[in-house]
Chain A
Amino acid sequence: MKPPPFSYHDPRTAADVVGLLGTLDNAKLLAGGQSLMPMLNMRYVLPDHVIDLNRVDGLSYIRERGGALEIGAMTRQRDIEFSDLVRERCPLMHEAIRQVGHRQTRNRGTLGGSLCHLDPSAELVTVAAAVDAKVTVTGKNGARSIDFAAFPAGYMMPAIELDELVTGAAFPCWPAGHGFAFVEFARRHGDFAIVSAAALIEEDTNGRVTRAAVTLGGMGPAPVRASEVERALIGETIEEKRLREICETLRKLDAVDDIHAPSSYRQQLATVLPRRALLQAHQRIAKGKRS
Chain B
Amino acid sequence: MSETRNIAVTVNGKRYEATVPVRLTLADFLRHQLGLTGTHLGCEHGVCGACTILLDGLSVRSCLMLAVQAGGHDLLTVEGIAPSADQLHPLQEAFRDNHGLQCGFCTPGILTTLIELLRDNPDPTEQEIRIGISGNLCRCTGYQNIVIAALDAAKRMKMSPLPARGERSSERSERG
Residues of A within 8 A of B (CB): 1-8, 10, 30, 33-34, 37-38, 40-42, 50, 52, 54-60, 72, 74, 78-79, 101-105, 107-108, 188-190
Q: Is B63 an interface residue (CB 8 A)?
A: yes
Q: Can you name 10 extra interface pairs (CB under 8 A) apart from A8-B3, A34-B46?
A: A1-B24, A6-B23, A7-B3, A41-B45, A57-B176, A59-B176, A103-B59, A103-B113, A104-B49, A108-B61
A37 and B65 contact, Cβ closer than 8 Å, known pairs A101-B135, A103-B113, A189-B131: yes
Name B117's closest neighbour in chain A (CB-CB). Answer: A103
How many chain B residues sit at the interface, stated as a range, is 35 or more
Whether B132 contacts A103 by the Cβ 8 Å rule is: yes
- Considering the chains assembled together, what is the distance between the CA atoms of A188 and B117 in angstroms? 20
Q: Mark B40-58, 1 if CB is under 8 A from A, else 0.
A: 0000111001001001001
Q: Is B34 an interface residue (CB 8 A)?
A: no
> A3 contacts which chain B residues (CB < 8 A)?
23, 25, 66
- Considering the chains assembled together, what is the distance between the CA atoms of A4 and B44 in angstroms? 14
Q: Is B160 an interface residue (CB 8 A)?
A: no
Whether B22 contacts A6 by the Cβ 8 Å rule is: yes
Whether A60 contacts B176 by the Cβ 8 Å rule is: yes
Name B176's closest neighbour in chain A (CB-CB). Answer: A60
Distance of B173 from chain A, by nearest CB (Å): 10
Whether B176 contacts A58 by the Cβ 8 Å rule is: yes
> B135 contacts which chain A residues (CB < 8 A)?
101-105, 190
In this complex, the member of A4, A78, A105, A107 whose beta carbon has the largest number of chain B beta carbons within 10 angstroms is: A107
Whether B64 contacts A38 by the Cβ 8 Å rule is: yes
Among B23, B52, B68, contact of A5 (Cβ-Cβ < 8 Å) = B23
Distance of B142 from chain A, by nearest CB (Å): 15
Whether A8 contacts B66 by the Cβ 8 Å rule is: yes
Distance of A32 from chain B, by nearest CB (Å): 8
Distance of B176 from chain A, by nearest CB (Å): 4
